A and B are shown apart, each in its own frame.
Chain A
Amino acid sequence: MMSASDRLSHVLRTSIIAVAIAALALVVMWPMVGSLNSLRYLAELFVLIGLAQMWNLLSGYAGMATVGQHLFVGVGAYSFYGLAVLAGWPAPLALLCTPVLGAMSALPAFAMIVRLRTAYFAIGTWVLAESVKIIAAKLPGFGHGLGASLPVPVATAFGSSSATRLTAIFYLTFITATGLTLGMAVLMRSRIGLALRALRDQESAAHVFGINSRRLRPMIFAGVGAALALLGALTTLQRLRISPDTSFSLLDYTVNIIFIVIIGGIGSTAGPVIGAVIFIVLRESLANLGPIYLIILGLVAIAMMLFEPKGVVGLIDRLARLSLTIPFRRPILSSLSNRKRT
């Protein structure tokens, strides 16, 4: 016999799956019906979702809060430019190689800040990102401080008209964001998810219970570096140019992303998706207010932190008692109710 709460969660789960399938169909069909502008906004939304998932992975789950994630976004942008333009590789191949370079740059970066914890770790990532941005401005062949545009053959590699190009970018960013979101859901339900949260909550106890943080932390950091680099390369394809200030943008790839995760719900897989949608909607509806819009964003974030630290997901959780946050709640509840019945 199903209890009322079991039945409720069953209904909710079924409806979530139905909504997800409908949304997937809509997204796949969208380029045929939507305007070019909508494709542009949605592609940007997908990139934001991906960036937010990665910041949430490091800060919300792994206890490695960074303010330097623009480092790997920039590395991705510059790697893509280096491979596709300077080395003359085919653009799709260059795109596929950016995660490798992102992961390779993440390991030495991690080695430099491995001994830092909490706020010091965050500041370390920031300093590192700003240093690499300055190095990027000195690199020959990348246009120094002004940056460089993608030459026409690279810019048109994914489509010669803007309609086909935007459609290709739309699908690429959609696949990346969906992959990262599903990947996060799977990861956090796995033993690695348990280990990351244990390390975050109580590092010395985690060691005593068998978790080798010396292997796990660099692995996660490299994975995040890879994903961020791919997102950086996709952003370069969208914007058609690189420059130290835009490719390594603290505001676009770190500050706004922190806002997104805090609003949506830190430590939850759904949070970054919800937060990214809210961010885009707020930004577009407040855009004509000028700089005041940043103040409003800040106030919203502060209010959220004070009244619901778990973001919109926390609000939903509180209202509906539906957990998108804790992966093991349902199995525990069912195992307990099994025991009660027998």
Chain B
Amino acid sequence: MTLLAITGLTKRFGGLLVFDQLSFSLGRGERLGVVGPNGAGKSTLFNLISGVVAPNSGSISFDGSDLKRSDAWTRCHLGIGRTFQIPKPFGDMTVFENLMVAATYGRGLSMRAARAHCDDVIAQTRLSAKAARPAGSLMLADLKRLELARALALKPKLLLLDEIAGGLTTAECDELLSILDSIQDQAISVIWIEHVVAALTRYVTRILVLAQGRAIADGSPSSVFADPKVRTLYLGEDDA
């Protein structure tokens, strides 16, 4: 069953062609990893899906509805939750209030129900000790975790993770993976953009490789990293 279908997506920034007729789809409950060199348009892909920027052409359909004309908040209400590569917390609000925004406005819970739900998410993401701190005072590892927690507070159908393991120590990365594993039973689909391939392959079941505005490989992690085109891209060697 398809949750997200991207067809012929094209995006230009001035003269720069970021995506050229990109197409792929994602099934319900599927975990997709997206890799590619810097500038391959990975974060732009999330901005297009979450409605932060508009495509030049092509379509994105989610859970049966066409997203073409939808605002970011409408897409959120449909069940798309995301993190930002560079954390964008509500800095003067507490960590708990950051989650409350997602639970009340994103998920549509009442204040009372949202409080109980956010208490759970805070515990699940191990942010309890920092719940009452202003989000702007957190260090990077906690900001990344807050990004994840805020997206989870939406109870999304599709979770978009933008380099949440980037810049973390091995221990912090392991903790992040164990948090991600703790949500596996919620049947949400995940797209995870990551440069830390070791972390990615421990979680996703499928990998999409983006380069020069196109998907150059798509499949299981082992088959994708065995692909000569991908090896050339990453290692600069020629298998021929």
Contacts and interface: CB of A to CB of B under 8 A. Distances in A.
A259 to B, nearest CB: 22
Most-contacted residue by chain A among B77, B97, B107, B131 (CB, 10 A) = B97
A201 B91 CA distance: 6
B92 interface: yes
A207 interface: yes
B187 interface: no
Contacts of B82: 208
A22 B71 CA distance: 50
Contacts of A307: none
A336 B90 contact: no
Contacts of B132: 329, 332-333, 336
A339 B52 contact: no
Contacts of A195: 101, 104-105
Nearest to A203: B88
Contacts of A214: 71
A14 interface: no
Interface string A204-227: 111111111010000000000000
Given A197-B93, A201-B91, A332-B94, A212 B73 contact: yes
A339 B127 CA distance: 13
Contact of A209 (B76, B92, B96, B131): B76
A39 interface: no
Nearest to A339: B128
Interface residues of B, number: 36
A335 interface: yes
B36 interface: no
A205 B96 contact: no
Interface in A233-279: 267
A205 B93 contact: no
Interface in B202-240: none
A48 to B, nearest CB: 26
A326 B96 CA distance: 12
Nearest to B160: A208
Contacts of B111: 190-191
A329 B150 contact: no
B105 A331 contact: no
A194 B50 CA distance: 21
A206 B90 contact: yes
B60 interface: no
Contacts of A209: 73, 76, 101-102, 105-106, 150, 154
B5 to A, nearest CB: 21
Nearest to A189: B111
B97 A205 contact: no
Contacts of B108: 210
B131 A208 contact: no
A165 B104 CA distance: 46
A202 interface: yes
Contacts of B105: 191, 194-195, 198, 209-211
A210 B100 CA distance: 12
B90 to A, nearest CB: 4
A212 B71 contact: yes
Contacts of A202: 88-91
B101 A211 contact: yes
Contact of A204 (B88, B101, B106): B88
B195 interface: no
Nearest to B131: A332
B105 to A, nearest CB: 4
A201 B92 contact: yes
Given A198-B93, A328-B94, 6 more contacts: A190-B111, A201-B89, A202-B89, A207-B73, A208-B72, A211-B105
Interface of B: 50-52, 71-73, 76-77, 82, 84, 88-94, 96-97, 100-102, 104-108, 111, 115, 119, 123, 128, 131-132, 150, 154
29 contacts: A191-B105, A191-B111, A194-B101, A197-B93, A201-B90, A201-B93, A202-B88, A204-B52, A205-B88, A205-B89, A207-B51, A207-B71, A207-B73, A209-B73, A209-B102, A210-B76, A210-B102, A210-B108, A210-B154, A211-B73, A212-B71, A328-B96, A328-B100, A329-B94, A331-B115, A332-B94, A332-B96, A332-B132, A336-B128
